[in-house]
Structure 1
C-alpha cells in the first residue's frame, strides 16, 4: 500500500472527540481454545514443540490483549493443522486467557485486560516488584518463556482504522526481523509508550548487543477477516524463512516493497480533553510541517516535520496514554 498523503483526511462515521466509543462491527468468532488451555509446558495456554534438528527457539504469542482475537484464531488453526517445526523449537502462546474469557461481541472493547494492560509491564523492576494483579501474575509466570526465546513474534490488532504495520522497537535486529516478513510491509521503529514497556521492549529483546530479537505485528482491525489473513501470512513467512516449516506458495503478484519509518515523537494525552481536528487514519502522511492535527486542552499538537507519518492514532485516548506516534519515512 502506498502512502496516503493528505492535507488532512476525514473518515465519516468515526468521530473524534469525547463521549462513548462508537459501536464496532465484530466479524470474527472467538476460537475454541479448550484443546490448548492446559498447555504442554506446565503453563496454561502455552504449547511448545521441539524438533530433533537444531535451530532457534521461536515464540509466537497472541492474546496479549484479551479482545485481540485474530492472532488466537491463526494459532488455533495452525495447532489444529498439526504444525510442527522442522528445526529448533516452536512455542505458540495464548497469553491473557483471563481477559479473553471475558470477551463479549456486544461490548468488544471491555476485555482488553482484567486489571491493567499486560503489554505495559515488561520491566524487570515491575516484574520483581511487590505490586500484584491478574496481568502481573501472568506476566511473571510467562517470564521464563521469554527469557529463553531467541525470536519472538507478538501478534496484535488495532481498534481504530489504520494501515497494518510491524513495530520493530529501536534496534537494528528488530528492524531486520520485521523486514523478513512477507506482510505487513510498513516497518516502524519506535521507543514504545510512556505508560510502560511492551514485551518487545523487555530487556533481552531491547538490548542491541544481545541475540534475542522481537517484533510486534499490528495486523489490522481487531475483528475483521482480513486481519486474520494478514496475521497468518506474517506467521508462516517467519517460520518459512527460518526453515521451520515447508515452503509456502508465493503470494500472488509482485511482493510489495518494504517501507521503513522511525518515530520522531510519541504524543501522550496529558488531559482528558485530547481531540484530533479530523478523524485521521493510521498511515496518513501530512505533507506540511507545522500542520495542526490535534488539541490537548489548550495545547496545540502540530506535525514536527514535513511528510509526517501518523502511526496508529487513537481517536479517543485516555489521559496518560499514547494518542499518536509521529514518524519520518526513510
Structure 2
C-alpha cells in the first residue's frame, strides 16, 4: 500500500468540498482551510539558514524565483512575485506568502508556480529531503496533481482585503465609502500598531450624519493611498492633499461577518476602551424589525449533515385518519385555523418526508 501524508489527504477532502461550490469566494467556509493546508505543506521541512539570524519562510522561496526566472521578467511567476513584493499592506514574510497563495489561486497559476519551484535547484535545496513533501517522490506528485486541480477552479476572491494577512488567515469585513468633497470628515483618530482607528465621530460632522464608520473601525486606505503602517498624523496629511476631491475611503470593520468582534482586533479594541471607557464593543443589538424580518427569512434555521433544518411553531392539530392523503389537508387546515385563530398556514411538501 502506498504511503499517505495526512496533509495531502486532508487537502484532497478540502478540494472536493470546494469543487462542490462552483465559484469560490471569500465567504466559502473551506477556502481558509485550503489555504492553511497549502501553507503547512509549503513550510514542512523548510530548513533555516545556519549563519543568519533572519527567519526563512516559504515566501522567501517564491521570492527567489524572481532571480532564477529563465522565462523572462514578464512571466506570470515574476509578475505575481513583483505584485506581492510591491503590496504596501504587507509587512512580514508570512503576510506576503499568504497573499501570494491567494493570488496564485485567483490567477489559476498555483500548479505552474510549484513546478517552477521544484525545478529551481538552488531553492528546493532549502527543504530537508527526509521531511519535506516537496522533496519526497511519493508525495510530491499527488501534491502537484492537487495543485493542478486547484488551478482549474474558479476563485473570485478579494485580493485587496489583505491588511491582516500578517496576523491571520481570517479576513475582516472591508467596505468602501464614497464621500463628496468636504473640508473635513469629522473623525477623531487613534494610531495603534501602524493602523488608523476611528476613536470618535464629531457631533454634526459628515461622518456622524452619514454613519459610514463607527468607533473601532480602521481606515485602510483613501483614494488608493494605503494607511497600513501609518505614522501619527499621516491620515490627516493624506486628507489635506486630497482636499476638494471626491473621497473613496476603504474601511475595515471591527465587527466580523457574524456581527461579533473580529478576533485579530480584540487587543486593540481593549486598548481603545481603556482610553475611552464609554466605547462599547459587543454583539450587534437586534431590533424588533430585524427579529421580525429574520423570522420571515427563517432565521431559526440551522445546518446539520448538509441539510437545512427549521424551527416550527405548533398552531394546532386535526385528525385526518390513518390512511389520509395530502388531499385531506384541505379539510384539516380550516380546522387548525379555527382552533388557533391563525390567519395563515404555510406548508411545504417534498417527495421525501421524515416524521420524528
What is the TM-score when the length of structure 1 is the normalising length?
0.25
Answer with 1 or 2: which has the greater Rg: 2
**Comparing both structures, which one devotes a greater share of its residues to strand?**
1
What is the TM-score when the length of structure 2 is the normalising length?
0.24
